[in-house]
Every structure is written in structure tokens, then in C-alpha cells.
């Protein structure tokens, strides 16, 4: 008897749900996923993400392949939620210009950055973006190059001890460089993460990112009601607390200094007064007056958005330079021509002249976008250029990986590493290339990131010859740009960015 009642209730529940979701179900029938992978009752295609031995990145690639074969759009069910997948720039442009609300999936960082602009709801994000955007002016960024170069010299010194040795993972070296540069340009503090790899801030930041990564790929842990019972939860909060306290202190000191009109600039060596992001924020928010909490949140947004992204990007460039010695030689030649002898400091004026290098970095971010997918929430019906209407209540996954490798956009050699394509060709569509996202909510730090990566990579390349971890990688005639990747909030190299280095001093180049 009880069983029967339960069964009937379940059927009713199911019918109500289907009635409520009828528009979404209709859309899903217009956008079928491939029959090869079944849509199971209740969980839908969610099982694709828990296949044994498969990384989430394998599933994102699969979704990209299916979308590419279906004119750049498909959809899949994750439990009761429908997600459309886009690899078509025309559709993506429309979505990224009209749907600015981030999907709940991206809000797991709340304990750390609270209402910080990057994942905040639109009504909080909009005024904050207006305050944040002007702090990324060209003059400010040019002044930051002094910091990038100073930190690059420290990196090169650290790397000296790894040269002429066996393979090693370069990622921690680059990410501590990134951390030091971001902390100095954002807050004006030098935490020396490169020299002090035990620094509590560095440990808390890395710890937070690890737990965040583990949680993000376990959908059943997304609800805080569930997650708070997990052993990792208190560690998660502990790391957030430490970082919050650290930044709080700096915010208090800087606010006070500015009120007192004191000297609060980063020491750039020469007499130029370089103001940090935090100082610019305090000044530019004077009218609406940011509270210390808001200042802390926005400061942490910079650290969170700017550290690992640039480190991953720069590390992928090193992997590819190692596998393409001809391209590495061309890059070195250009650096020598523009920046002179390897003892000459790299300056802001040099960076725009590194045109080929620019193309190499862009082509790397095309094949290996550190942020391979972004997810937006549909809130109003949206008509795509194809005439199809996306309905409220669905999630939209912009599959940047799939868009960047879409042969319909990039041609039959879409999977090949060919920097020249950024010199010869014009883009088929401005949204065809979007490692930094697109539209009103795109990355504010894209120029900062390009300048920081160029400075640090140029410093490494002029001092070391970069070799792949294994010799066979150089000679295998198959596509050398097919690196194994994994998903950990960002897309990373599955083998942890291993390379070998040789000092250039003894070379005749």
C-alpha cells in the first residue's frame, strides 16, 4: 500500500516537473545530444562527469565535439537542469552580451570573495565594475612593468638552480612569480612567495584553490547545507579567514594612509609614483565610498582572478616553446632585437614591439585557454542569430575550448599550433577568440595578463633554452600540440608542466 502511494506521488511529482519545464523540454528536443550517450532517468547526462578514469575535461571536449557537429550548439541534461553548449561565436556573442548573470556553479568562491565583482549578482556587479574598470588604465599598467621585471629577475635566479638538470615542474615557480606580482601591484606589499614558499598567505591561497577544485567537480558537495558536514569545510573556511584577515589589515593601513595624505606608492626604483590597484580603488570609489569590506572583496578578486590564470597561461607557453624549437628561436631573436642584451631591463615600451611573441602567446591561449568554459544563467528569452530561442531557467555553457578549436571557424588546421594565424589572418568573428571571455562582463585584466606574461616569459627565454621533459616530444612527428590536460577550476597540464632548462650563456646564439 505504502509503496503504491509512494509510486503514485513520484509519478505526480515527475509530471508536475515536466509541466513546469515544458518550454525547456521543447528546447532540448530541438537541440538533441548525440544518441551514443544516453540520457538516463533523473540524472540525465550527469553520469558523463563521473565516468571512471575520465577527467571532467574529457567530458567538456566530448560536449565540444558534439556541438561542433551540430552547427555549434547542442544541449544536455544535468539532473533536472538543461544546459546548452555553444561553440559558435555568433550565438556566444548574443548570450555574453545579454545574459550577465553568472551561474550558481561559479559561486563556490563566496566564502573567500563574498560579493566580489567577479561572481557577484548583476545588481551588485554593475556599479562595482564601473569603479574597477578605470583602475586598469594604460599608464598604470605601464608602470607595473617595473614590478613584473623585478619579479622576473627573481624567478630567473630561482630557475638557475634547475638548469642543466632533469625535468621538473615549472608551475610553482611561475605561480609564485604571479602571486608576488599581483600582491605588489594590487596591495603594494611584497610577500616574497618566490623566496618563501612557506608563506602563510601562499599556503592558504593554494589550499583554498585545491579544496575549491575538489569541490567544484563533485556536484553533490555544491550545496553548503551538505558541504558544511565535510571535513574539508572547516579548512576551507580557515584558509578564507586567513586571507581575509591579511587583506583587511592592508586595507585598513592604506585607507588610513590615504586619509592622512601619506606616501603610499610602490617603490619602483625610479622616481615615478606608481599607485596600486587598492589605492586607485580607494580614490575612485570616493564618491560612493567603498567600505573596508568592499575594498577587501575587490582586492581578493584581483588575487583570485589574476594569479593562477596567468600562471597557467604562461606555463602552457613554455611547454609549447619547448616542443617547437624553431618558434622558440624566432621568439628569442625578436626579444634580442627589441630588448637588447639579456642584462637590459625589459620595459613597458618594449612590449608592444614583441609582435611575433604576442602571436605565440595568443595562439597558446587559443589552444589552451586557462578558463576552458564559462557558464551563464538564462533569465529572459533570448533569440539567437539562427532564430532559435533560448528560454529562461537553462544554463548556457560557452565552451571556449570547443570554440577555439572549431574547424568551421579556424579551418582544417584548427588543432595545430601556428602563431602566424594571428599575424596573417583577421578573425572570422570578434567572439571567435575569447580566452578572456567577451562582452560587458569580460576579463578586466587581459592587458595586465598579457603584459605580465610577456615580461616574465621574455626574461625566461633570453636566459634559458627551454626543452621538453622528454626528448621524444621533440621528434615525434605527430601533432606536437596535443598536450594532455585536466580540469581543476582552470584547465591545467595533466603532467604538471614539466620541462628542462639549459642556460643560454654558453650558447653562440
Ligand X SMILES: *[C@@H]1O[C@H](CO)[C@@H](O)[C@H](O)[C@H]1NC(C)=O
Q: Which is nearer to ligand X, 208 or 356 (CB)?
A: 208
Binding range to ligand HEM, per CB under 6 A, among 39-47, 145-153, 300-308, 457-465: 300-308
Residue 196 CB neighbour total at 10 angstroms: 12
Using CB under 6 A as the binding rule, the residues of this chain from 152 to 211 that contact ligand HEM are none
Shortest gap between Cβ of 370 and ligand HEM (angstroms)?
A: 4
Q: Distances in Å between the alpha carbon of 221 and those of 226, 229, 232, 237?
A: 6, 10, 11, 15
Residue ranges of the alpha helices (H) in 218-324? Answer: 224-227, 231-259, 277-284, 292-323
Q: Per CB under 6 A, does 118 bind ligand HEM?
A: yes
Q: Which is nearer to ligand HEM, 404 or 441 (CB)?
A: 441
- From the list ligand HEM, ligand X, none, pick the one residue 210 interacts with, judged by a Cβ distance below 5 to 8 Å according to partner type: ligand X
Number of residues counted as binding ligand HEM (CB under 6 A): 25
Q: Supply the DSSP string of 106-146, one letter for each residue.
A: GGTTHHHHTT-GGGS-HHHHHHHHHHHGGGG-HHHHHHHHH
The set of cell numbers assigned to 123 is: 545588481
- From the list ligand HEM, ligand X, none, pick the one residue 116 interacts with, judged by a Cβ distance below 5 to 8 Å according to partner type: none
* DSSP H or E run through 328: helix 325-339
Name which of 395, 402, 394, 481 is nearest 434 in CA terms. 402
The binding site for ligand X (CB under 6 A) comprises: 114-115, 124, 210-211, 214-215, 230, 232
Q: Which is nearer to ligand X, 116 or 419 (CB)?
A: 116
Q: Which is nearer to ligand HEM, 194 or 437 (CB)?
A: 437
Distance CA 251, CA 45 (A): 46
Shortest gap between Cβ of 491 and ligand HEM (angstroms)?
A: 10
Q: Which of 401, 435, 455, 467 binds ligand HEM (CB under 6 A)?
A: 435
Shortest gap between Cβ of 291 and ligand HEM (angstroms)?
A: 19
Q: Distances in Å between the alpha carbon of 433 and those of 84, 88, 278, 362, 427?
A: 19, 11, 30, 9, 8
The set of cell numbers assigned to 11 is: 509519478
Binding range to ligand HEM, per CB under 6 A, among 405-413, 415-423, 425-433, 438-446: 438-446
Residue 301 CB neighbour total at 10 angstroms: 26
Q: Per CB under 6 A, does 305 bind ligand HEM?
A: yes
Distance CA 304, CA 262 (A): 28
Q: Per CB under 6 A, does 91 bind ligand HEM?
A: no
C-beta of residue 402 within 8 angstroms of C-beta of residue 68: yes
Shortest gap between Cβ of 462 and ligand HEM (angstroms)?
A: 21
Q: Which of 448, 464, 487, 497 binds ligand HEM (CB under 6 A)?
A: 448
- From the list ligand HEM, ligand X, none, pick the one residue 445 interacts with, judged by a Cβ distance below 5 to 8 Å according to partner type: ligand HEM
Shortest gap between Cβ of 33 and ligand HEM (angstroms)?
A: 23
Q: Per CB under 6 A, does 449 bind ligand HEM?
A: yes
Place of cell 596573417: 424
Q: Which long-range contacts does 276-279 make (Cβ < 8 Å, 24+ apart)?
A: 276/184, 276/185, 276/186, 276/187, 276/188, 277/135, 277/185, 277/186, 277/187, 277/302, 278/186, 278/187, 278/188, 278/250, 278/251, 278/254, 279/188, 279/254
- From the list ligand HEM, ligand X, none, pick the one residue 338 interacts with, judged by a Cβ distance below 5 to 8 Å according to partner type: none
Shortest gap between Cβ of 97 and ligand HEM (angstroms)?
A: 12
The set of cell numbers assigned to 248 is: 583587511
Q: Which of 371, 397, 485, 489 binds ligand HEM (CB under 6 A)?
A: 371
- Sheet with 464-468, edge to edge strand ranges: 168-169, 498-503, 464-468
Q: Which of 44, 306, 372, 468 binds ligand HEM (CB under 6 A)?
A: 306
Residue nearest to ligand HEM (CB): 445
Q: Per CB under 6 A, does 373 bind ligand HEM?
A: no
Q: Which is nearer to ligand HEM, 405 or 441 (CB)?
A: 441
Shortest gap between Cβ of 399 and ligand HEM (angstroms)?
A: 12
Distance CA 278, CA 301 (A): 11
Residues that bind ligand HEM (CB under 6 A): 102, 106, 117-118, 125, 129, 301-302, 305-306, 309-310, 313, 370-371, 374, 435-437, 441, 443-445, 448-449
Amino acid at each position: 500500500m505504502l509503496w503504491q502511494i509512494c509510486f503514485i506521488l513520484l509519478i505526480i511529482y515527475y509530471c508536475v516537473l515536466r509541466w513546469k519545464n515544458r518550454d525547456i523540454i521543447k528546447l532540448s528536443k530541438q537541440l538533441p545530444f548525440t544518441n551514443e550517450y544516453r540520457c538516463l532517468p533523473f540524472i540525465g547526462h550527469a553520469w558523463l562527469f563521473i565516468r571512471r578514469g575520465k577527467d571532467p575535461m574529457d567530458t567538456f571536449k566530448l560536449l565540444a565535439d558534439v556541438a561542433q557537429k551540430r552547427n555549434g550548439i547542442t544541449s544536455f541534461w544535468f539532473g533536472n537542469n538543461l544546459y546548452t553548449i555553444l561553440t559558435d561565436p555568433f550565438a556566444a556573442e548574443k548570450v555574453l552580451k545579454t545574459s550577465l548573470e553568472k551561474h550558481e556553479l561559479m559561486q563556490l568562491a563566496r566564502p573567500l570573495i563574498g560579493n566580489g565583482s567577479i561572481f557577484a549578482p548583476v545588481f551588485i556587479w554593475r556599479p562595482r565594475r564601473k569603479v574597477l574598470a578605470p583602475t586598469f588604465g594604460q599608464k598604470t599598467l605601464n608602470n607595473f612593468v617595473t614590478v613584473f621585471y623585478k619579479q622576473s629577475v627573481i624567478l630567473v635566479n630561482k630557475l638557475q638552480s634547475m638548469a642543466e638538470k632533469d625535468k621538473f615542474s615549472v608551475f610553482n615557480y611561475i605561480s609564485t612569480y604571479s602571486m608576488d606580482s599581483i600582491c605588489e601591484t594590487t596591495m603594494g606589499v611584497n610577500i616574497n612567495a618566490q623566496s618563501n614558499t612557506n608563506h602563510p598567505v601562499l599556503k592558504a591561497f593554494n589550499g583554498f584553490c585545491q579544496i575549491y577544485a575538489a569541490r567544484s567537480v563533485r556536484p553533490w558537495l555544491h550545496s553548503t547545507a551538505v558541504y558544511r558536514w565535510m571535513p574539508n569545510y572547516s579548512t576551507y573556511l580557515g584558509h578564507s579567514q586567513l586571507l581575509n584577515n591579511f587583506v583587511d589589515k592592508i586595507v585598513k593601513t592604506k585607507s588610513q594612509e590615504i586619509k592622512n595624505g601619506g606616501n603610499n606608492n610602490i617603490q619602483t626604483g625610479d622616481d615615478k609614483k606608481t599607485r596600486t590597484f587598492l589605492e586607485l580603488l580607494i580614490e575612485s570609489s570616493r564618491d560612493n565610498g567603498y567600505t573596508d569590506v568592499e575594498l577587501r572583496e575587490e582586492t581578493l578578486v584581483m588575487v583570485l582572478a589574476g594569479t593562477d590564470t596567468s600562471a597557467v597561461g604562461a606555463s602552457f607557453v613554455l611547454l609549447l616553446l619547448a616542443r617547437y624549437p624553431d618558434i622558440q628561436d624566432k621568439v628569442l631573436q625578436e626579444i634580442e632585437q627589441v630588448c637588447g642584451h639579456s642584462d637590459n631591463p625589459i620595459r613597458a615600451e618594449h612590449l608592444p614591439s614583441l609582435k611575433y611573441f604576442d602571436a605565440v602567446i595568443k595562439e597558446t591561449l587559443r589552444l589552451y585557454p586557462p578558463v576552458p568554459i564559462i557558464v551563464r544563467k538564462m533569465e529572459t528569452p533570448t533569440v539567437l542569430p539562427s532564430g532559435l530561442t533560448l528560454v529562461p531557467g537553462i544554463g548556457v555553457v560557452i565552451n571556449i575550448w570547443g570554440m577555439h578549436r572549431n574547424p568551421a571557424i579556424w579551418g582544417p588546421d584548427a588543432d595545430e599550433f601556428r602563431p602566424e594565424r594571428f599575424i596573417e589572418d583577421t578573425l572570422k568573428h570578434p567572439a571567435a577568440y575569447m580566452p578572456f571571455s567577451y562582452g560587458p562582463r569580460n576579463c578586466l585584466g587581459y592587458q595586465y595578463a598579457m603584459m605580465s606574461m610577456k615580461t616574465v616569459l621574455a626574461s625566461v627565454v633570453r636566459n634559458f633554452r627551454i626543452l621538453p621533459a622528454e626528448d621524444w616530444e621533440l621528434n615525434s612527428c605527430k601533432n606536437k600540440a596535443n598536450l594532455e590536460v585536466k580540469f581543476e577550476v582552470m584547465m591545467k597540464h595533466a603532467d604538471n608542466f614539466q620541462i628542462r632548462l639549459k642556460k643560454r650563456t654558453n650558447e653562440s646564439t
